[in-house]
Structure 1
Amino acid sequence: MIKVLVVEDDAQLVRALRINLEARKFEVETASEGSKALNLAAAGKPDVIVLDLGLPDIDGIDVITAVRESSRVPILVLSARHTSEEKIRALDAGADDYVTKPFSMDELLARLRAAIRRGEIPAPSKEISMVTTDDFTVDLVAKKVSRGDRRVRLTPTEWHLLEILITNPGRLVSQRKLLLDVWGPTYSEHTNYLRVYMAQLRRKLEADPSHPRYLITEPGMGYRYEG
């Protein structure tokens, strides 16, 4: 059974989420404070976290950052903060998706399922197990990225994008294919998602993110990995 950790201080919303999730055979844990959420995330090992940013004790962005220090669990933000700046802050901190309140329960559940799928990407075939460049190394079997002796932590979404590109070296992967493979058919036109996440990958992997050596954009078409 898939375990969902719901981090939300609105008791009425928590009740609605619990009813809808349990009706679909999810196991639900809840926390109304960020500190409790971090304890549950560490001890309970949820499969996905649904997180409100406006918590009474710790800002949700700080919760994301703390979780990302030790886990790649998918994080779906659920927030009343509507500005692009807030969304980018959450995605930069390591969130995998962002849903604004008020929201459709059907849309939330669809995005939740997509986040879970991204966290369950199977290991690649043994044909390519390790990719090494002058700046970073990717272990495709262990799903680890490093720069020198330092581990680079990627979110499940960042990992999925990187995996698709580096297992197709030199090939142009279209925007549509990346959006369909990573986010699903609902997001086939959301090219802004790609721009945000590719920028994050470049900041983490490229020596000069503004002039990428490995993760190349083909304007209006897609992206390509050059080894």
Structure 2
Amino acid sequence: MFTGIVTDIGEITALTPTAQGQLHRLRILCSYDLGGIADGASIASNGICMTVVGKGEAGGKTWYEVDAGAETLALTTAKSWRVGTRLNLERALKIGDELGGHIVTGHVDGIARVVTREELPDMARFTLQTTPELARFIAPKGSVTLDGTSLTVNTVEGNRFSVLIIPHTLSATILGGWQEGSEVNLEVDLMARYAARLSETK
């Protein structure tokens, strides 16, 4: 489990696909302490919960390796990641940690596309579009996770919704690089999903 509060920005330094293209081994450079990363640990990369399968140090920085399987490559933006791609990172939640965002599973539901970026005084407003199947879980003032970042929904209109991003988030995450046409990983709010399911079964 995660909170959607990004704690580091990583960079892919190596990407090795298999011959069948069903699995990608990724090496990600980060600022986390090497001793604090255990084999099998979960680290969210742009909102995708990924399992550490190797680790080490290079140039005074930590690296770790994860595998992106066929489903991840099919359903998320991982299919377009390359060497040099920057990623929002978050370590798994521990009992006693501050829950600064909302409950995030790291199981990406699909992709949202940035429709517009509007520069405002001290912040930016992004309007995004997703599928009708996912839009039904998104509500004004509700929570949504985009590229692993916990955000509050500003407005909703059909399959489109908007979020306001403050300067700290723009500088401390990769969201500052979003432009019109950018595709981002979307995880809907877990509570919204359960509420919709309960409504359907009545």
What is the TM-score with the length of structure 2 in the denominator?
0.29
Answer 1 or 2: which has greater helix percent. 1
| Bigger Rg over Cα | 1
TM-score normalised according to structure 1 size: 0.27
